[in-house]
Amino acid sequence: MHDDHHHHDHDHDHHHHDNRYSDMQARVKALETVLAEKGLIDPKAIDAIVETYETKIGPRNGARVVARAWSDAGFAEWLKTDATAAIASLGYTGRQGEHMRAVFNTPDTHNLVVCTLCSCYPWAVLGLPPVWYKAPAYRSRAVIDPRGVLSEFGLTPPETKKIRVWDSTAELRYLVIPERPEGTDGLGEEALADLVSRDAMIGTAVAGVKP
Ligand code: FE
């Protein structure tokens, strides 16, 4: 099954699930249409559920990873050296066994994640990818003009700050660990996790700003 979806024109090894997703999405769409026609479901309710998975339930896992890293220096160190194992210790593992790498924002460096070839995304920690992440405009421009892309998301890092762009693959997915916001010293992990949006873990936002 897996080998049916190899792309041969890639410059990095990129196993492909996207075709399988397309099949699945088509089946889901067909089912949704039949149920809606029979009056059994409200398409708006489905949209609301998908939206919730995109922005709330899925990314909450990643937010807990970030909050733990902010609270526990040993965990942060583990995340730097073996993110796959550190993240798995919290119960979050990849669907396909892909490896994770955590990239830490610092006062000197801001990290931004993209998949230039398709839409590889750290499902285990972020849930469903947003539509813009899969859009050709984001995928090409994140590499060519990361500052331009960030400004469209409302972020304008100083020129002195380096922007590093990480290109995901099916084998390696990135999670941005944003900088811990000022004035959060007294907060516990759940309260800290509330400050970490999905976009902050992709790198199109910073922590502490509500999405
Ligand atoms: Fe991809």
Residue with tokens 């993209």: 114
Q: Which residues are catalytic?
A: 115, 118-120
As given in the structure block, the two tokens for residue 41 are 């479901």
What distance in Å separates the CA atoms of residue 190 and residue 196, rounded to the nearest whole number?
10
For ion ligand 1, residues whose CB falls within 5 Å? 115, 118, 120
Exposure letters 67-97 (e unless 16+ CB within 10 A, then b): bbbbeeeebbebbeebbbebbeeeebbbeee
What distance in Å separates the CA atoms of residue 60 and residue 54, rounded to the nearest whole number?
10
111 pairs with which residues across the strands?
164
Report the SS3 class of residue 132.
helix
Write out the residue range of the structural domain in which residue 65 sits: 14-201
Would 7 be classed as within a structural domain?
no
Please say whether the beta carbons of 88 and 115 come within 8 A: no
Ligand 1 centroid–CA 82 distance in Å is: 22
Report the SS3 class of residue 169.
coil
Would 208 be classed as within a structural domain?
no
Please say whether the beta carbons of 83 and 175 come within 8 A: yes
Would 209 be classed as within a structural domain?
no
As given in the structure block, the two tokens for residue 54 are 């995109």
Ligand 1 centroid–CA 126 distance in Å is: 15
Domains contained in the chain, number: 1
Tens place of pLDDT per residue across the chain (211 aa): 343 344 434 444 455 444 455 677 778 788 888 888 888 888 888 888 777 777 777 899 999 999 999 999 999 999 999 999 999 999 888 766 679 999 999 999 999 999 999 889 998 899 889 999 999 999 999 999 999 999 999 999 999 999 999 999 989 999 999 999 999 999 999 999 999 999 999 999 999 954 4
Q: What is the CATH number of the domain that holds 74?
A: 3.90.330.10
Ligand 1 centroid–CA 188 distance in Å is: 35
Ligand 1 centroid–CA 168 distance in Å is: 6
Would 210 be classed as within a structural domain?
no
Would 114 be classed as within a structural domain?
yes
In 89-211, which residue ranges form alpha helices assigned H by DSSP? 123-126, 131-134, 136-144, 146-152, 189-193, 198-202
Please say whether the beta carbons of 143 and 116 come within 8 A: yes
Would 195 be classed as within a structural domain?
yes
What distance in Å separates the CA atoms of residue 190 and residue 131, rounded to the nearest whole number?
27
Would 34 be classed as within a structural domain?
yes
Would 172 be classed as within a structural domain?
yes
